[in-house]
Homo-oligomer: A and B are copies of this chain.
Amino acid sequence: MKSRHHLPHYRIAVVGSCAVGSYYGARLAEYGRDVHFLIRSGLEQVKRFGIRIKSRQGNVFVPKVHCHASTTDIGPVDLVLIALKSTDNSALETLIPPLLKPGTMLLTLQNGLGNEEYLAERFGPERVLGGLCFVCLNRETPGLVHHLSQGHVILGEFSGYPLPRTLEVQWEFKRCGVPCTVSASLGEARWRKLAWNVPFNGLPILSGGKDVARILADEDLAYLARRILDEVIGAARALGHAIPTSFADTLIQRTREMGPYRPSSLLDFESGRAVEIESIWGEPYRRAFNAGAECGRMEMLYHQIRHLTGERVHLN
């Protein structure tokens, strides 16, 4: 059992305990990792009842959870999993500092573009890793997450190529049953994910709430999804990411396998919560525009969604 002595014993903080934070935090806690959750709503409930994940891949129940109302209570850690909504990023300015010590890694599991940059500017680029979560989740109540499908994470370093610590974090996830791979280019990985998010988080909002299966079943929306997907891949290529154009087929195929999935942005939109407009549509559109890439479809999506969410706030 010699190899166990080489396992890292990370002290881990989870900031943002919506679906993604609760899910990956619980997966690590289930395997005995020292995981500390910052919980801003439902703290008492999670303290008393723990975290449950309903999943066809096997339910998870973590009865005893380290819950905290502030990051000062958590104190310095080795690894921070950031799963806050990107619309709440400004809160990180005060949430993160109490968690820092030399070498603390900030791993953002947030959606879209701009989150690594936000952390790097404030806490130093050398601390920042990015993780892309390919997972269909819905948080039903604090402490109860419905895991619908997938679950793997792609990790990368914000500053460049993978480091030894990147592989250590990867294995920490893998040893806890979370499929995890390391990407040599976090930027490329982010754009590969955006290629899906831009059309399949966007069109459900614009189409009055259609799930991805209904998007693919509608002649016009399926055509637009494919054309938007191609445009995002084209923008990524213009930005230097070598994503093959055939990747669009792969994504469409994977989407077919998701069934009637309702993306988190749609649920946010419908329930009046903030929608991650800038990280999913705004920042990718601006980067495509600045690179001189074709971006008319992304522009339409971005401004239409901005308009619609503005209207919605207006109505509430």
Q: List residues of chain A with CB under 8 Å of any chain B CB.
A: 206-208, 218, 220-221, 223-224, 227, 231, 294-297, 299-301, 303-304, 306-307, 310-311
Contact = CB atoms under 8 A, between A and B. Distances in A.
Contacts of A221: 303, 307
Residue among A208, A299, A310 with max Cβ neighbours from chain B (10 Å)? A299
Given A220-B306, A224-B304, A296-B299, 12 more contacts: A207-B307, A208-B311, A218-B310, A220-B310, A223-B303, A224-B300, A227-B299, A296-B297, A297-B297, A297-B299, A300-B300, A300-B301
Contacts of A223: 303
Contacts of A218: 307, 310
A45 B49 CA distance: 74
A303 B218 CA distance: 10
A123 to B, nearest CB: 33
A145 B206 CA distance: 35
A229 to B, nearest CB: 12
Nearest to A301: B300
- How many copies the complex holds: the figure is 2
Contacts of A220: 303-304, 306-307, 310
Nearest to A222: B303
17 contacts: A207-B307, A208-B311, A218-B307, A220-B306, A221-B303, A221-B307, A223-B303, A224-B299, A224-B303, A224-B304, A227-B296, A294-B296, A295-B296, A296-B299, A296-B300, A297-B297, A297-B299
A209 to B, nearest CB: 11
A22 to B, nearest CB: 33
Residue among A295, A303, A307, A311 with max Cβ neighbours from chain B (10 Å)? A307
Nearest to A310: B220
Contacts of A303: 220-221, 223-224
A307 B306 CA distance: 20
Nearest to A300: B300
Residue among A220, A221, A311 with max Cβ neighbours from chain B (10 Å)? A220
Contacts of A294: 294, 296
B304 A206 contact: yes
A310 B222 CA distance: 14
A261 to B, nearest CB: 19
A245 to B, nearest CB: 16
Contacts of A224: 299-300, 303-304
A227 B303 CA distance: 11
A135 B7 CA distance: 76
Nearest to A307: B220
Nearest to A311: B208
Nearest to A303: B220
Nearest to A305: B220
Contacts of A307: 207, 218, 220-221
A158 to B, nearest CB: 30
